[in-house]
Amino acid sequence: MSSSYHQFCPVAKAMELLDERWTMLIVRELVTGSQHFNELRRGVPRMSPTLLSKRLHQLTRAGIVDRHDNSGGVRYVLTAAGRELYPVVEALGAWGIRWIGEIGEEDLDPKLLLWDMHRNIDHQAVPKERTVISFSFPDVLPPARYWWLVITPEDADVCDADPGYPVSITITATLLNMTRIWRGDLSWPDALHAAAVTIDGPAQLRRAVPQWFTLSAFAAVDRPDNRQGRRPG
Amino acid sequence: MSSSYHQFCPVAKAMELLDERWTMLIVRELVTGSQHFNELRRGVPRMSPTLLSKRLHQLTRAGIVDRHDNSGGVRYVLTAAGRELYPVVEALGAWGIRWIGEIGEEDLDPKLLLWDMHRNIDHQAVPKERTVISFSFPDVLPPARYWWLVITPEDADVCDADPGYPVSITITATLLNMTRIWRGDLSWPDALHAAAVTIDGPAQLRRAVPQWFTLSAFAAVDRPDNRQGRRPG
DNA sequence: CGGTATCCCCGTCGATACTG
DNA sequence: CAGTATCGACGGGGATACCG
């Protein structure tokens, strides 16, 4: 229970509910479409389950989230009030991508990156057959260096072990560069031209890869001044 | 120093800087135009000076605020990055006013209310001569029951003691109702009609009073469903 | 899958007093 | 006016283990 600011200002009243650590990130996850407890956890892996549980209770009491216990598992769903937090998340993200360009070593996480990417695949753009993308992050120590994305027209799965299917495309990049592409700090064309990322596989697929991913929702936000944004085209 | 979320998501990076207690309220004050330390304090009176000082340092280090030490006193001014937090404050306030209609006894503060009102006077609408408005909050215990607003074409001052000038207008309302008017939860016409507020003074001035105040920036936000908003006209 | 229980540390914050 | 100094309590939240 966060304490009150003792102010009638609506900004203060809103922040009483939202300024606690992790809360906005949970809202972000819910806005993104996660609903199940363990699904939410994947979006905030460094949060303890106890604390996540507590926050979900708080958000429920605040009328931002509804807990549905239908058969099929428990689902946390945004209420009308919760859905209207979208502009807040949007404004925060747009500001963050514009003004916090430097992301540290500590902020990088291949699992989180793959988890984000798998949620933002343009299934229209991917081949009808099962497509397996192998990711290699040469700068990451072996347990987390190799990842696979298994994409079908209906679904996408993240694997941290070789799923066994033939690999269609291999993407090699430092974790930072792959993250920068995802965030829109670096465009695919620029990255390929500078050899910041390498795509291996049949030429036809290789050229198509950038179309497969809808990048971060904030990738398209304009950057201040001359900072690198997504290149048109 | 707030700790990191260890996430590359721009929402997380933004909240690392903004999710600490009081921080967004200071940004709100800066956006509103306050610049001097003790001026900022008036907007967040329950914050200790130590903590305000700490937050201002943090915001400065984060590149959100610049500290100007020109002669004329120290001024805290938003940087370009800081100014761009306006949409965040706006989104938070709009959400808050829509979804947090209940404000408790604890959130009411005549000093804060008068401080807000004095910053939002339409000097075009107020008579050319010095205008003194006396406020009376019958439900508030005497030390804080009576307030005065001394308005000139250039300036407006809040007084907690009779400034001595002849009073032009007396406004009487419970602190809650005056606050609800200020927030746009209750319109002037509705409040007057329901006798939730009383305006005493010359008829000509009485009718003009509602024009003198630009209400809270969030007063005009639409309310969900049938909740009371500002009445057109 | 969907959480609770427990433990303990350390940082945050509030309160108050004081200074250039 | 523009802050610092100091101090203590509390509770937030991280870690880990465990349960239905």
Give residue-wise pLDDT tens across range B42-73. Answer: 999 999 999 999 999 999 999 999 999 887 78
Q: Is some CB atom of chain A closer than 8 A to the CB atom of B12?
A: yes
Interface test with A, best of B2, B7, B41, B51 (most A CBs within 10 A): B7
Q: What pLDDT score does A227 carry?
A: 57
**What are A52's two structure tokens?**
């996540």
Flag if A20 and B19 touch (Cβ within 8 Å): yes
**CA–CA distance, B82 with B144 (Å, rounded to integer):** 35
The rounded distance, in Å, linking the Cα atoms of A144 and A160 is: 7
Give B91's contacts (C-beta < 8 A, 6+ positions apart). A87, A88, A90, A91
- Say whether pLDDT at B118 is over 60: yes
Q: In the structure, what pLDDT confidence band is assigned to residue B227 with cuts at 50, 70 and 90?
A: low
At A68-109, the pLDDT tens digits run 988 778 999 999 999 999 999 999 999 999 999 889 888 999
Nearest nucleotide to the CA of A53, by C1', is: C3
Residue A154: per-residue pLDDT: 86
- Summary mean pLDDT of chain A: 91
Which part of chain A has CATH 3.30.1050.10? 105-212
Output DSSP code: residue A139: T
Per-chain mean pLDDT for chain B = 91
Which amino acid residue lies closest to nucleotide D13, measuring CA to C1'? Answer: A51
Report residue B152 as tokens: 């000139």
Q: Given this model, what pLDDT does residue B218 score? A: 96
Q: Do A63 and B21 touch (CB under 8 A)?
A: no
Q: What is the DSSP string of B85-96?
A: THHHHHHHHHHH
User: What's residue A95's pLDDT?
Assistant: 97
Residues 170-199 of B with CB under 8 A from A: 179, 182-183
Which of B1, B15, B22, B111 is the best mutation test for A, with the most CBs of A within 10 A?
B15
How big is chain B, counted in residues? 233
Q: What does the pLDDT read at residue B232?
A: 41
Contacts of A109 in chain B (CB under 8 A): 6-8
**pLDDT tens for each residue of B174-212:** 999 999 999 999 999 999 999 999 999 999 999 999 999
Amino acid A233: pLDDT: 34
pLDDT, mean of residues B103-124:
92
B233 touching A (Cβ < 8 Å): no
Taking 70 as the pLDDT cut, the residues of chain A under it are 1-2, 226-233
Show which positions of strand D are touched by protein (CB under 7 A): 1-6, 12-17
Instruction: Say what the pLDDT of residue A231 is.
Output: 44
Contacts of B143 (CB under 8 A, 6+ apart): none
Q: Which two tokens stand for residue B92?
A: 């938070």
Cβ proximity of B19 and B55 under 8 Å: no
CB proximity B155 to A under 8 Å: no
Please answer whether residues B181 and B168 qualify as being in contact, where contact means their C-beta atoms are separated by less than 8 angstroms. Answer: no
Strand C nucleotides within a 7 Å radius of protein CB atoms = 1-6, 12-17
Residue at A227: amino acid letter: R
Chain A touched by B166 (CB under 8 Å): no
Q: Which amino acid is at A203?
A: A
The reply to whether A140 touches chain B by the CB within 8 Å rule is: no
Task: Identify the burial level of A113 via C-beta atoms within 10 angstroms of its C-beta, where 0-12 means exposed, 13-18 middle and 19 or more buried.
Answer: buried
- At the top level of CATH, the class of A10-99 is mainly alpha
- Flag if B216 and A9 touch (Cβ within 8 Å): yes
When pLDDT is cut at 50, 70 and 90, the band that residue B229 belongs to is very low
Mean pLDDT in residue range B17-26: 95
Residue B226 in this model has a pLDDT that exceeds 70: no
Closest protein residue to D6 using CA and C1' atoms?
B50
Question: Å between B49 CA and D5 C1'?
Answer: 12
Domain with CATH 1.10.10.10 in chain B: 10-99
Q: How many CA atoms lie within 13 A of B17 on its CB side?
A: 25
Q: What sign has the CA pseudo-torsion A40, A46, A48, A52?
A: negative
CATH placement of domain A105-212? 3.30.1050.10
